[in-house]
Structure 1
Amino acid sequence: METQKWIDAGYNYIVDYGPKIIGAILIWIIGNWVIKLMLKGLKRVLNKGDYDESLKKFLTNLVKWILKVVLIIVVLGTMGVETTSFAAVIAAAGLAIGLALQGSLGNFAGGVLIMIFKPFKIGDLIEAQGELGVVKEIEIFTTKLNTPTNKEVIIPNGALSNGNIVNYSTEGKLRVDLTFGVSYDADIKQTKEVLMNVLTSNPKVLKDPSPTVNVSELADSSVNFAVRPWCTVADYWDVYFETHENAKIALDAAGIEIPYPHAVEIQKQG
């Protein structure tokens, strides 16, 4: 009788739970197959978009685990397990983690946006958050810049993505804005020719766009010329410093005076 009782109980268990277990196994197998197909499709989309490799891996793994969790909940529900409370616990845990890591999540979201929209890339010269430098590394949470003084600046991606970004490398060319003042006694045409010759004789100054020299201001003690050479991003500082030096030498050689402040002493006799 005892044996028959156990046989009957086993039979009833198989009848009650057998289809659920088989269904859960089938759902697990089919679900994993569907997840693999979805991940392959996602990888193809990311590869076509030419996104950063670290972003590809992160998004792929994130989608994979989200789908896995959903699949596990569906399998448990198929087997008759109450999943409502289980889902509520996951949601509550997610909310708590989100509140605790609010700043980090903002930086993470900023990093994702930067990697997707690509306002700059490694090697670009940018100005952002009051810092100027060459992009050294783009990570999920931060971006590293190398400044002209060879300092490493680490900027949180949240602030970086929400602020203004000036990318000097996008167009591949930069204009160097310089101003030179000469005496009112100097010949304007001659001065323009001398300054233009300084620009055109420098091989680092681009011919297209062509450099310009124009009178920009009649100041208190000088006639100011706006000198505007164009160059590549890499040659910016070379052109900046060389133009200052060569312009001084050329103006002196042409006998064109560069005025400087004079002190006038007035003595009162009494």
Structure 2
Amino acid sequence: MTIIPYLPFLGAAIGVAVLLWGIHWFLLGRHPDLGNDRKFPRQILMLGLGIFALLALILALPVSESARGQLIGLIGLLISGFIAFSSSNILANLMAGILLRITKPFRIGDFIRAGDHFGRVSERGLFDTEIQSECRELIALPNIWLINNPVTTIRSSGVVVSVSLSLGFDVHHSRIEPLLVKAAEESGLEEPFVHITEIGNFAVTYRVSGFLVDIKRYITARSNLCRGVLDVLHGHDIEILSPNFVHQRRFENAEKFIPAAFQPEAEEKTVNVEDLVFDKAEQAERVDQEKQKLTKDIEHLKLALKEADEDGKAHIKENIEEKRNLLKSLEQTEEASGEDNAESSGFASC
């Protein structure tokens, strides 16, 4: 058996290998500063090109049609076996993870609500998305579940904070509405407004809302609004009663259930709740922002490198290398943080 008939095929195989290597260098090799999010679509593209090149080489083999068909069938059998032996949920979550990276309904650090879960996104993986809840718990949500269920994302430009309450019919709404607006303003919200959402059998339901610019203080702002509503209404001798309480009370009883004013002796220490419960999400968002900034800086320096003189090129190259080292350090910190959170249990859940 002579090797001469296979020489064109061997040359084609070497050419395809060199071409794939060149594409890999062009997409990934010459960009060591790319983050994981930007590497992922290029890696998927390289995988697809590799499979396509393998099939093209099989079709180019100098063998009979039956042997070629058997080889293609064997590859199809291997791929089918891989899919069959791997869980369908794994493949579904992988495809859902790719779709989430394409559509980008949220990013690291965003507040999201999915089903009964609410928290800040602390990590985005290929198979699941991790959020940090108000109780500082880390919750892993399968990507396929996020695709099949509505996901509410709080916009980074601001959010409307609201609280609802029921008041009796004995107080006119024209008196209530200015007080609720005042409570929202004193709690630090902008452009407050009040809606009457329901007229029930025993009470009127009001909803006071205001705009919060700093979404990282969402939980504190919601608590401050509730506190402000209590202080303002009780300070103006207005009772906040539940429908059941109003229904069961004797109407001839003139006693009012308003708590007495209390002045603390010393100023209480203020704790930033969000910094405590969303520590991982906060760190992940900060690292992600720094990585994006470093990547953009490196791209700008590369453009400046082409137009700089010999003296300036040396300085620019040093800056590029320094920023690349910082980028690698951030990625290592991110990986180490993920391992530490996986090994430690953190605070108790609420």
Aligned to 1:88: 73
Report the secondary structure of 1:58's partner residue: helix
| Partner of residue 168 from structure 1, selected from 128, 134, 154 | 154
Report the secondary structure of 1:179's partner residue: strand
Equivalents in 2 of 1:259, 1:159: separation in Å?
Answer: 40
| Partner of residue 128 from structure 1, selected from 114, 123, 134 | 114
Report the secondary structure of 1:238's partner residue: helix
1:124 is matched by which residue type in structure 2?
A: D
Report the secondary structure of 1:143's partner residue: strand
1:109 is matched by which residue type in structure 2?
A: M
Aligned to 1:156: 142
Shift of 1:42: 6.4
TM-score calculated relative to the size of structure 1 = 0.75
Shift of 1:91: 0.6
Shift of 1:141: 1.3
Any gaps of 5 or more consecutive residues in structure 2?
A: 29-34, 251-350
Shift of 1:257: 3.0
The one-character-per-residue Cα deviations of 1:201-238 (angstroms, maximum 9, x if unpaired) are 333x13xxx21024444444444322111214323222
Identity fraction in percent:
18
Equivalents in 1 of 2:136, 2:216: separation in Å?
Answer: 15
Aligned to 2:97: 111
Report the secondary structure of 1:237's partner residue: helix
Counterparts of 1:28-39 in structure 2, within 5 Å, are 28-36=13-21, 39=24
Equivalents in 2 of 1:235, 1:124: separation in Å?
Answer: 12
**Is the contact made by 2:187 and 2:228 (CA closer than 8 Å) also made in structure 1?**
no
Compared with structure 1, are the counterparts of its residues 55 and 162 closer, same or farther at alpha carbon in structure 2 (3 Å cutoff)?
A: farther
2:222 is matched by which residue type in structure 1?
A: Y
Greater relative contact order (CA < 8 Å, ≥ 6 in sequence)? 2
Report the secondary structure of 1:154's partner residue: strand
1:186 is matched by which residue type in structure 2?
A: V
**Is the contact made by 1:39 and 1:60 (CA closer than 8 Å) also made in structure 2?**
no
| Partner of residue 55 from structure 1, selected from 40, 43, 65 | 40
Compared with structure 1, are the counterparts of its residues 187 and 80 closer, same or farther at alpha carbon in structure 2 (3 Å cutoff)?
A: closer
Shift of 1:64: 4.4
Report the secondary structure of 1:149's partner residue: coil
Report the secondary structure of 1:229's partner residue: strand
1:21 aligns with 2:3: no
**Radius of gyration: which is bigger?**
1
Give the CA RMSD over aligned residues: 3.1
TM-score calculated relative to the size of structure 2 = 0.59
Equivalents in 1 of 2:92, 2:195: separation in Å?
Answer: 48
